[in-house]
Amino acid sequence: MTSPRTLLSAWNLHPKKQLGQNFLSDPSTARMIIERAALDPGDTVLEIGSGLGALTIPAAMQVARVIAVETDRKIAELLKTELLAAGTDNVTIVRDSILDVDIEEVTQDAAGKLVVIGNLPYNISSQILVKLIKARPVVDRAILMFQKELAERLVAKPGSKAYGRITVMLAYCSRIKSLATIKARMFFPRPKVDSAVIEIQFREYASEPADDEKYLFKVIKAAFGKRRKTLKNALSQSQLGIDGPTAEKALVTAAIDPVRRAETLSVDEFVRLGNTLGKLIR
């Protein structure tokens, strides 16, 4: 593995801060991540933000196929040369933003459900996770690197400041396991904080499924949209289109005190609230 600094310099390229480009520069760390991902030979891997191939190449050596999504055109060209040099012929590069990729379409000929890997840029990490949650009928699990602060939010418990919308959505439909902490010095350019590798094992069907999952996610978004306000006020001042009395009635019927705040509710309470509110407004 050629160092990112050397590769970028040879191609007269510079990391783009707006794309969150921090390239993994330690090959042993890359191998460790792929090892802990426990990939199978028959897997189809979708990689988000392939960069210079630090994870792409070791993954390709273990699985049937890798679909590498890379938004930066010049980095994608550089990646092609790295793949040729490594002798890998089972990688398809998709030159696009993952937020614009139809996951079901690009992976429609996969033998089974996808395994997703990637080092996610901080500014769109939550959007990517929401996209994966919605695509989970075709996604088995995801092994992803996040800034440590965001990783802590994903496993936060009710009542903590880190507990938020994405925490609840993931807890509703997945199990999360921490796999590793990666020091900032393992990247080029060096980020200000360490990163964490998280495995998300998706469940297509939640253990306590909502009557209407799309509506549940809207309720969760509304509740956290004004997280400093009481649930009654947050819901009635949201885009759900309900007034204060309706919000209060739903909360009381769901056995939730209207003066509580979103970060205090468990996943089961959110499901109960979503179901109750959905029946009231029909």
DSSP class of 96: S
What are the sequence ranges of the domains in the chain?
A: 4-202, 213-281
Q: Are 231 and 264 in contact (CB under 8 A)?
A: no
DSSP string for residues in 21-60: --EE--HHHHHHHHHHHT--TT-EEEEES-TTSTTHHHHH
User: Measured between alpha carbons, how far is 226 from 233 in angstroms, rounded to an integer?
Assistant: 8
Structure tokens at 165: 């919308």
Structure tokens at 76: 């994608």
Matching fold, domains 4-202 and 213-281: no
The CATH H-level superfamily of 213-281 is: rRNA adenine dimethylase, C-terminal domain (1.10.8.100)
User: Measured between alpha carbons, how far is 210 from 168 in angstroms, rounded to an integer?
Assistant: 13
3-state secondary structure (DSSP) of residue 162 = coil
Structure tokens at 175: 């199990």
Residue 157 amino acid letter: K
Domain 4-202 has CATH 1.10.3720.10: no
Q: What is the pLDDT along the chain (282 residues), one digit of tens a residue?
A: 778 999 999 999 999 988 888 999 999 999 999 999 999 999 999 999 999 999 999 999 999 999 999 999 999 999 999 999 999 999 999 999 999 999 999 888 887 899 999 999 888 999 999 999 999 999 999 999 999 999 999 999 999 999 999 999 999 999 999 999 999 999 999 999 999 999 999 988 787 899 999 999 999 999 999 989 999 999 999 999 999 999 999 999 999 999 999 999 999 999 999 999 999 887
Closest CA to 69 of 39, 86, 52, 46: 46
